[in-house]
Amino acid sequence: MPAIKEHISLKPFNTFGMEVYCDYFTEITSETDFIELLENGIYQTQRHLILGGGSNVLLTRDFKGMVIRNTIKGIEIVKKEDSTVHVKAAAGEVWHDFVMWTIAKGLGGLENLSLIPGCVGASPMQNIGAYGVEIKDVFVSLEALHMVTGEKRVFNREACEFGYRESVFKRKFKDQYFITSVTFELSERHQLSTTYGAIQNELQAMGITSPGIRDVSDAVIRIRRSKLPDPAEMGNAGSFFKNPEVPADQYTSLKTHYPDLVGYPLENGHYKLAAGWLIEQCGLKGHLHNGAAVHDKQALVLVNKAGCSGQDVFDLSTHVLKTVHEKFGVELEREVNII
């Protein structure tokens, strides 16, 4: 039975660095640990919050219940056919370390997703994405245990209902499954994805004309370091809002008023707008509220600049939502999980 501790500070377990406490805290290092936990009376009577790296949560108050940290480790090649390789990674593996492992093995597919904080187990939750790639592009399946029955279920790509920063685990199956591993299809003869303008510019700046997977990873790391705040230096959870989707007529009308508007067409005829641009145009870059701030290099990121509370960040996000709506008539949606 995994040890259960009482009244634990969650500060080391969330990248916003919020000092809140949970009533109970446990770490799961194997599937057996979790199955045993199901028999525990405290587990059975408390609310649960699963955490990996805590890099996509805003903790606004003490958590009245049990925090379950997934630290199950292990990476294995489970299938190899010609140059196609299936790699299964346990949920508690650190995402970036896993990406580096695949690159060291010469396996392409995850290089554009280098340096995203957090753990493997959370990657399907919001179908993590960056620089033109989302995990759904290389996803095979995941294994998860039901939070009440402990029954193991394998979800293939279709069953996960992936969308932009979305999956079935944020909707129909919210709080119902404990993800234990994820399997990806990678390739030894990988077709690189370098269409994202910033990658091309960075590779050029690095003097690289025929890049390999490691070059693309290096370029992505350089871009990310140049604009995203390092949680070790300034608390944050990456983009706080999603980039909004608007109908074509609204896009056209906005573009007429604001010729510099940043947006691009989607397959469904709608347009995706850059929320960072909208927020910046409202004059909110660097805006401060009780120590919570809109990041001065990337307006889509809210930061804990001076020991603020989760409620301060939440209130700042409400101010951003309201201001963007008043100026542009566009509704932003929070991307970070508010607890």
Question: Which residues of this protein are in contact with ligand FAD, per CB under 6 A?
Answer: 15, 49-57, 70, 91, 116-119, 121-123, 125-126, 128-130, 177-179, 228, 231, 236-238, 337
Task: From the list ligand FAD, ligand EPU, none, pick the one residue 85 interacts with, judged by a Cβ distance below 5 to 8 Å according to partner type.
Answer: none
State the nearest-atom distance from the C-beta of 204 to ligand FAD, in Å.
Answer: 22
141 is known as an active-site residue? no
Q: Least distance (Å) from ligand EPU to the CB of residue 262?
A: 4
Does the annotation count 326 as an active-site position? no
Residue number, 232 or 260, with CB nearest to ligand FAD: 232
State in angstroms the smallest separation of the CB of 241 from ligand EPU.
6
Asked if residue 333 lies in contact with residue 240, where contact means CB atoms within 8 angstroms, the answer is no
Say which of 93, 165, 217, 309 is annotated catalytic: 165
Q: Could you list the residues that contact ligand EPU (CB under 6 A)?
A: 130-131, 198, 238-239, 242-243, 262, 274, 276-277, 280, 285, 298-300, 335
In the bound state with ligand EPU, the residue whose beta carbon lies nearer, of 20 and 262, is 262
Q: Active-site residue 9, yes or no? A: no
Name the binder of 299 from ligand FAD, ligand EPU, none, CB < 5-8 A by kind: ligand EPU
CB of 324 to ligand FAD, least distance (A): 21
